[in-house]
Structure formats: C-alpha cells, structure tokens
Copies of this chain bind each other. A is one copy, B any other.
Amino acid sequence: MKKINIGLIGFGTVGSSVVKILKERKELIKRKLGAELVIKRIVDKDISTPRKVKVPAKILTKRINDVLNDPEIDIVIELIGDSPVAEKIIMGAIKRGKPIVTANKALLAKKGRRIFKEAERKGVEIYFEASVGGGIPIIKALREGLAANRISSLFGIINGTANYILSGMSHYGSSFKEALRDARAKGYAERDPSLDVEGIDSAHKLTILSTLAFEGFVDLKDIYREGITKITSQDIQYAKEFGYVVKLLAIAKESNGSLEARVHPTMIPQEHLLAAVDGAYNAIYVRGDLIGRSMFYGRGAGGFPAASAVVADIMDLVKSGGRFLSSNFSKGPLKIKNMGEVETRYYIHFTTVDRPGVLASISGILAKHRISIASVIQKERREKGKVPIVMMTHEAKESSIQKALREIDRLKVVKAKSMLIRVEGEL
C-alpha cells in the first residue's frame, strides 16, 4: 500500500487532534483512501509539554526546515496560526513543490493573493477547508458541490464566539459584558476577544468565502467591518418586538452588478433559519441561481471539528492525483461597493428627552434625507428623563442615513449617540 509522508507544523489544539485522528483512525483512513498516512515529522516551538496524543520523541523537532527540506515528506500541514512564520512555511513549501493543508484564515485573508499566485505558478495545491466553518465542508461545497451555480448571495454566522455572546444576550437578557464573561468561562472567548467581537475574524473568513463564491479576489481591505461591542440587551429586546434577531453576519451579495462585502451586527427575521443558529455554532446561507437557498450548519471551532476538515483535505489531496482546483485569489480583484452606496433597511435607537416635538424634529431630518420610516416604538419607560425612540426605516442609502444621524445627534433634545443596526429582511 502506498505511503504518504506528512510533515505537521504546529502541534497545538488542532495539530494534536489531527495526530490523534491519524493515529487512532489509521485503518478507516487506509480503507477509504487506499493509502497509508504517516506523520513523519512534527514541528513546534514547544516539544516538551505533553499533548493529548503520544508521539515518538524522535519525530518532534523545533526546526521548520526538518519538514521543508525533507524530500520524503509529501504534504505539509501548517497549523501555527496567524504569524509571519506561517507565511514563510507556506511559501517555502510552494517553492519545494510540496502541497499544503492549512487552517490559517488570517494569513489567507491577508496574504492569499501572493500565496496563491505563487502556488499556481508552481502548480502546487493548497487546501484550506479548516480555515472557515470548522468541520462544515463549506469550502468544498463552494468549489465543487455548487460549482455550476452563479452565487448571488452568501450570509454567514462564521464566528462562534460572537454568536455565543449574542445568543446569550438574546436568551438571558444579559449585557454584552456578562455574556462575554460567560463565553470566557466556557472557553469560547480568548482573554483578548477583539478578533472575535470586533468582526475581524469574520472579515478574514468572508474574504475567503466571497473570493470562492464570486470568482474573483475580494480584498480584505474592501470589506466593511463593525463589531458587536456596542449592542445592548435593550436593542436585542426591541429587535424582538419588531420580530427580529440580532446576529453578527458576514454578508457578500451581488446587487445591481456590483458586490457588497460587509461584516456587522444585523437584524434578521425571527423565523429565518439563520435566526435559529444558536450558541457557538456556525452557518453559511448561500443562494445560487440553480439550487436556490441552501444552508450549511455546524461547529465553527474546536480542535476536532477543524482536524476533521484538515484530515479530509489530506485525503482529498492524496486522491486528487494532480487534480488542480484553481483558487480565485489570483484572479482580478472584484470591485466592492463603497459602504456609503449600500442600500438596506435600518433599525435606529434614539435616546431623547421627554418633550413634545422630539419625534417631529427627528422625523423631519429623516424626511429631508429621503429616509422613510416603516414603524416606530416610543416607550413610556424612561431613565433619568431619557426616552428611547426606536424605529425601522424602509430601504435607504447608508450615506443618507449616516448624514441624517450626524444631524440628529447634534440636536439638543438627543442625549446619546444614536444606535444603528442594519436589517436584512430578505435573505
């Protein structure tokens, strides 16, 4: 039976899960693959701390070149995360003609163009299923399963931490801080949660998904990004009253011939399937012209889900026998619509004094900017003389809304910066 030698770089949570699977599932993989996968070398900065799987000491090394320069190693697995070293590893493997499996969404989002151009020049395959959606085979679905479709839109809940926090705020009425504390206690949030709660990780993943779905390079820099830190439990409560749920969505969609790519808190209808995606789960909702609506759901993070994707990639690489899936990273960059040009509906929460004429002033300014109001809730409940006015607008241009809000926030009767949440009614 054919033996495939693997060099693993990065022996952390995902790396050790990969080793565990390859070790304990040797027979299943042999049976499915008709080949044996052998871990020939494991590279890590730390080769002394015991991991959840035992490996012979002699295969452990701290030197990356022990993998890159070993002519017997057939496939390089890069699992060290976002670091300048990761780029060196991948470029080094490409240079030596070794196919690569990586989970490195940040690196692909930031350096994907350079990496894939070089990989295509050298005819080297890079597989990256684990970079988005953990164990959900969404990369494969976009590249292969839905290959005949023109994708018109893609909506993703692709950060489990942010979704866990928003779900907590929605179900238990907790504040952002409380929900974050809970996410930390459960191991879903890191000490510095900014990658997750500021939407940075979602934007990285959206770069990858939209580049695949829309067949052209989507530059991370062109993706509008807004996190969930300013969402209050009160806004989530009002959203409910309007029949909506707040999710951190990564959105890429065609509208009038150009592409929108944005990550921000979004209100979606309560009865939509994405609204039911709770806790640390991920889901990617895709519309294709042939298949219509589809959704892919599962665990977005964790050692074993990601390792499941890594091992599937290795098996695909072995079976591919030279088959080359072009990635779209090297294609012409797609023009992304300026955020000011985006048209959508808006939820706006004004904090005003309780005095006659306030609603008139606000709605006057909105009208001047041609923003039409769909519904309003004005509550009697007040704190220290402040009254919340919340409204849903009809479709309006982002630039108009921003101009109107700046004007409204300067009114004397407005007591705090107005809160805006974009609404996607038709997903």
User: Interface residues, chain A, CB within 8 Å of chain B?
Assistant: 17, 21, 25, 28-29, 31-32, 34, 129, 134-137, 140-141, 144-150, 215, 271, 273, 276-277, 281, 288-299, 302, 304-305, 307-309, 311-312, 315-316, 319-326
Q: Which residues of B contact A277 (CB under 8 A)?
A: 273
In the complex, what distance in Å separates the CA atom of A315 from the CA atom of B320?
13
Report the minimum CB–CB distance from A172 to chain B (whole Å): 15
Given A146-B137, A315-B144: A291 in contact with B273 (beta carbons within 8 A)? no
Who on chain B is nearest to A142 by CB? B137
Report the minimum CB–CB distance from A79 to chain B (whole Å): 15
In the complex, what distance in Å separates the CA atom of A255 from the CA atom of B243?
40
Q: Are the C-beta atoms of A308 and B288 separated by less than 8 Å?
A: yes
In the complex, what distance in Å separates the CA atom of A299 from the CA atom of B14?
34
Report the minimum CB–CB distance from A335 to chain B (whole Å): 19
Q: Are the C-beta atoms of A323 and B312 separated by less than 8 Å?
A: no
**Which of B31, B137, B304 touches A144 (beta carbons < 8 Å)?**
B137
Q: Are the C-beta atoms of A316 and B135 separated by less than 8 Å?
A: no
Who on chain B is nearest to A282 by CB? B294
In the complex, what distance in Å separates the CA atom of A49 from the CA atom of B200?
55
Q: Would you call the interface of chain A mostly helix, strand, loop, or mixed? A: mixed
In the complex, what distance in Å separates the CA atom of A402 from the CA atom of B221?
64
Most buried by B among A140, A144, A293, A319: A144
In the complex, what distance in Å separates the CA atom of A291 from the CA atom of B309?
9
Q: Are the C-beta atoms of B291 and A305 separated by less than 8 Å?
A: yes
Given A294-B298, A295-B298, A326-B32: A146 in contact with B141 (beta carbons within 8 A)? no
In the complex, what distance in Å separates the CA atom of A395 from the CA atom of B203?
46
Report the minimum CB–CB distance from A254 to chain B (whole Å): 15
Q: Are the C-beta atoms of B21 and A144 separated by less than 8 Å?
A: no
Who on chain B is nearest to A310 by CB? B148
**Which of B134, B147, B298, B319 touches A323 (beta carbons < 8 Å)?**
B319
Most buried by B among A21, A129, A323: A323
In the complex, what distance in Å separates the CA atom of A346 from the CA atom of B305?
33
Instruction: Sort A-B residue pairs by CB-CB distance and give the 4 closest, nearest first.
Output: A137-B145, A135-B291, A294-B298, A290-B308
**Which of B21, B140, B290, B297 touches A294 (beta carbons < 8 Å)?**
B297
Who on chain B is nearest to A148 by CB? B311
In the complex, what distance in Å separates the CA atom of A136 from the CA atom of B149?
12
Report the minimum CB–CB distance from A212 to chain B (whole Å): 11
Q: Are the C-beta atoms of A304 and B291 separated by less than 8 Å?
A: yes
Given A29-B148, A145-B312: A21 in contact with B290 (beta carbons within 8 A)? yes
Given A32-B326, A305-B290: A312 in contact with B146 (beta carbons within 8 A)? yes
In the complex, what distance in Å separates the CA atom of A224 from the CA atom of B28?
29
Q: Are the C-beta atoms of A135 and B299 separated by less than 8 Å?
A: no
Most buried by B among A32, A134, A308: A308
In the complex, what distance in Å separates the CA atom of A150 from the CA atom of B28?
9
Q: Are the C-beta atoms of B148 and A294 separated by less than 8 Å?
A: no
Who on chain B is nearest to A294 by CB? B298
Report the minimum CB–CB distance from A215 to chain B (whole Å): 8
Report the minimum CB–CB distance from A247 to chain B (whole Å): 15
Report the minimum CB–CB distance from A260 to chain B (whole Å): 21
